[in-house]
Structure formats: structure tokens, C-alpha cells
Structure 1
Amino acid sequence: MATNQEIHVTSSTISKTRQRVDSELKTGMISFVKGLMPLTAVDGLGFGVLGNMIIGSTYEGVRGRAEGLMTDAEDALDGWCDGLTVCERNWRAAEDASIIQYRS
């Protein structure tokens, strides 16, 4: 479905997007979700003797993989912020270069 809405990108919107990724997405995903990871630990014989022998090491492997994925996600978000910073700077330069100056 086509719309007639025009979308304009500005260095200001790029900056706001970067700020939201950094303050909202990163905080929500990394601080909150990654902060929950220690709560998933099953200490000692939490699965029981037999349960620990059957699934204990697999469960710990899954936990380790999840922690690794959260670290990868944090690195990706840092990369997004870095990329958006460069994009904002380049876009601002293009905006400044496209300003028409009139001579009297």
C-alpha cells in the first residue's frame, strides 16, 4: 500500500536515533536483560543428582551461550552508535555544504 507521506532525513533525526539506541535500546536490552542472567543460575544440585547429571552441563552451556549472545548484542549496539555518529557528522557536512549563500 503506497502512501503519499514524504520522509526527510536530517542530521538531527540521525542524532536523535543514535541517542535513543544508546539510552533506550541499550539500557533496556543490555542493562535489564543482561542483568537477569545471574538469576538463571541453578546452583549445586538444583536439578537433583540425576537431573544434574543429565541436563546440568547442557543447561550451563545454554546459559553461557546466552551470555555470549548478550555480549555480542552489546557490541553490535555500540557499533550502531559509532556508525550513527559518523553518519550524523557526514550528513551535517552535506547539509552545510548544500546551503545556498547569496552575495549582495
Structure 2
Amino acid sequence: MAPGGQEKYVTSQGIERTRRQVLDEAKPLFRGIRDEVDDTDVGGVAFGVVGLAFLADAYAAVQNDMRRFMNDAMEVMDEWGEALEGIERVWRAAEDYSTPKVVHGPGGRDVRITGPAVYQ
């Protein structure tokens, strides 16, 4: 239970909403950060003669790292989106359990939903 005694329920709509937030809201923020890295370029003379020898390469390496981190994060978000899409399909099928269904679940596995579980 959540604080205050309120119960929380997961729904297929909630899963879909989470997927959309990841892909439509979070991912564009990371893309924007990645795309703005080039705007942080500093000309060689800005570091000075001594700085050019020591700082320019290190600064460029940090920029490349940031691009890679943002690309990696966006790739993970795409994977989350795919997983959440499969989870949402399985959850929706479970919500509609009254008729047996086979749905394509996460990880490429087919899941058969045949009705409510019977516990003994």
C-alpha cells in the first residue's frame, strides 16, 4: 500500500502512458543535450598556447564521451519502449481474460492468457 493506505493499481493504460513518457518526453531531452554538445566547442586559441597542448584534447574527449552517453541512454530508452509495449499487450490481455488469447509478450515470447488463476 502507498502512504496513507491508498492502494496503487497497474493498468495497461498506465503502462502505455509510461512508455509514451519515456519515448516522447525523456528521450527528446537526451537527444537535445547530445545535439547541443557541438555548441560547446571552444576554439584552440581560447585555451591559450599552453592550454591548447593540454586542454584541447581532453575537452574534445569529454564532448565525445557526452555524445556517447546520450546515445547510450537513448538506446536504452528505445529498449524500454519495446519492453513496455510487450508488457502492455500482455497486461491488456490479462485485463480482457474472459476469452482465451495468445499475445506476443516481451522478449519475443508468446503468452497464453486463459482466465483468472484459481488458488487452492
**Global fold match (TM > 0.5):** yes
- Give the aligned partner of residue 56 of structure 2: 56
**Percent same amino acid among aligned pairs?**
35
Instruction: Tell me, in whole angstroms, the C-alpha distance in 2 between the residues paired with 1:96 and 1:2.
Output: 30
**Contact 2:34-2:70 at 8 Å conserved across structures:** yes
Task: Give yes or no for contact 2:27–2:77 (8 Å, CA) kept in 1.
Answer: yes
**Larger RCO: Structure 1 or Structure 2 (Cα < 8 Å, ≥ 6 residues apart)?**
1
Task: Provide the C-alpha distance between the structure 2 equivalents of 1:40 and 1:87, rounded to a whole number of angstroms.
Answer: 40
1:11 paired residue number: 12
Q: Supply the RMSD in Å over aligned alpha carbons.
A: 1.9
C-alpha distance in structure 2 between counterparts of 1:13 and 1:55, whole Å:
48
Please give the residue correspondences for 1:26-45 in structure 2 after superposition, counting only pairs within 5 Å: 26-30=27-31, 32-45=32-45
Amino acid at match of 2:11: T
Structure with the higher strand share, 1 or 2: 2
Unaligned runs of 5+ in 2: 100-114, 116-120
Task: Give me the TM-score of the superposition, normalised by structure 2.
Answer: 0.74
Contact 2:34 2:66 in 1 (8 A): no
The 4+ residue runs of structure 1 with deviation greater than 3 A are none
Shift of 1:45: 2.5
Alignment match, 1:25: 26
Counterparts of 2:52 and 2:43 in 1: how far apart (Å)? 10
CA distance in 2 between counterparts of 1:7 and 1:29 reads 30
In the other structure, the counterpart of 2:105 is none
Q: CA deviation at 1:46?
A: 2.5
Going by fraction, where is helix more abundant, 1 or 2?
1
Q: Equivalents in 2 of 1:88, 1:65: separation in Å?
A: 34
